[in-house]
Chains A and B, each alone.
Chain A
Amino acid sequence: MRYLLSSFCLLFIACGSYPKKHDFQIEKVATNNVQNFYFSNENEDYVYKANIDVYDNNFSGIFIVKKIEESNHRIVFTTEMGNKIFDFSFVNNTFRVNFILEDMNKAILINILKKDFRALIQEKLPIIKSYSTQKDTLVYETTLDNKTYFYFKTQQLDKIIRVGNGKEKVAFLFSEINDTIANRIQILHSNIKLNINLKLFK
């Protein structure tokens, strides 16, 4: 019985909310939506040199994002020599695989990439709660496809975190920001060995 109780206690602590664990203070803000402008310009070709670490394998190539029109993005990954590895379309709430190399055509992998990239390109989401941290950062809680996300903003959007069971699952880090272009982007997974590093083509 005692074990059961302490297990419950542990469970309770483990499930403590992400804001509580990180000592966020509730903060009232005037805006209703949190925005991500990094892939929002239809006139821009977003081209990055990419390194993808999956377990002990490293793939490098060119990562391309294009906003075709409102709520319509294309994401393509090619080798340096231009051969396509995958080619995805995100139109409204639909997702389409235009092409994927046979070796990578695994539902589990495609699902992970789909979730990551949808969060990466999502321009606007309604704020559920807002917080401030001791580091003068505003944090906005929101949801996308039933997952909880926290958007961290100082001068600009620096970080997006996907949280599950009160724990960080995926971090999207934006740095070396010029206006609305993030020169460096990292997508880091905590529960699986998958990291994506992007560096803007210059």
Chain B
Amino acid sequence: MRNIIYILFFMVALVNAQTKMSNAESAVLKTKVKAHATTINTLLSDFTQYKHLDFLSNDIISSGKLAFKSPDMVKWEYLKPFKYSVLFKNDKLFINDEGNKSDVDLSSNKMFKQLNSLIINSVKGDMFDDNEFDIAYYKKEANSEVHFSPKDKEFSKYIKAFHITFNDEGHVVELKMLEPSEDYTKIVFNNRSVNTPLSDAIFAQ
């Protein structure tokens, strides 16, 4: 009997590895992340991307570098297993696909503009917009995990939720984008450096 209780207790503990935050805790986290986000002028980070499709045996793994320069330049560069980069700059999207360059004018494209600001906000972690998202806060071991579910019906057809994991300093360590089908893209950041001077050459296309 005692064993059963232990097992039950252990199961409950497992389920609770991710527990809901109290209002006070979520307010502290939000303040911390927002304060950190406003100090970010530049950001450089390595990333590893895991594309999870339920029917595959393994996640599809790719990796590269992310560079951000305030207010709105972002370069998302894949280095393995292929070379591919997208650069958001001056209302344009520049694509470099293994040397083949192209660009898309975003000034008239609302969806791409939204995407750009979404990428910037998610990288900084500051997506705390109650008009745009239903937001839920969780504790996950030493980290925090916040779930942002888009309120916009059109948008939620593509992305059901963003799950952002913050470390105890309020920095984004993981970004997960979930599709309505439960398939997801998980991006894990490492070797992150904030406010180191980035030359414009990084953002040249």
Contacts and interface: CB of A to CB of B under 8 A. Distances in A.
Given A82-B177, A82-B185, A76 B81 contact: no
A80 B62 contact: yes
Interface in A68-87: 68, 74, 76, 78, 80-84, 87
Contacts of B78: 80
A122 interface: no
Given A45-B60, A80-B62, A81-B185, A60 B97 contact: yes
Interface bin, chain B: 20 to 34
A62 B76 contact: no
Contacts of B84: 60, 80
A134 to B, nearest CB: 37
Given A82-B177, A82-B185, A201-B60, A64 B97 contact: no
A82 B181 CA distance: 13
A84 B60 CA distance: 13
Interface in A38-63: 43-45, 47, 49, 51, 58, 60, 62
Interface string B39-71: 000000000010101011110101000000000
Nearest to B183: A84
Which applies to chain A's interface (DSSP): helix, strand, loop or mixed? strand
A99 B60 contact: no
A202 interface: yes
A42 B144 CA distance: 38
B205 interface: no
| Residue of A60, A81, A98, A99 ringed by the most chain B CB atoms within 10 A | A81
Nearest to A87: B181
B179 A84 contact: yes
B76 A64 contact: no
B100 interface: yes
B82 interface: yes
Contact of B97 (A51, A78, A87): A51
B77 to A, nearest CB: 10
A128 to B, nearest CB: 34
A23 to B, nearest CB: 38
Given A58-B102, A60-B95, 7 more contacts: A49-B81, A58-B100, A66-B56, A84-B158, A199-B82, A201-B60, A202-B81
Task: In the A-B complex, list the 5 residue pairs whose CB atoms are closest, starting with the nearest.
Answer: A82-B185, A82-B51, A45-B56, A49-B82, A60-B97
28 contacts: A44-B57, A51-B97, A58-B97, A58-B100, A58-B102, A60-B97, A62-B60, A64-B53, A64-B56, A64-B60, A66-B53, A76-B53, A78-B51, A80-B82, A80-B86, A81-B49, A81-B76, A81-B86, A82-B177, A83-B185, A84-B158, A84-B183, A87-B181, A98-B181, A99-B181, A199-B82, A201-B82, A202-B81
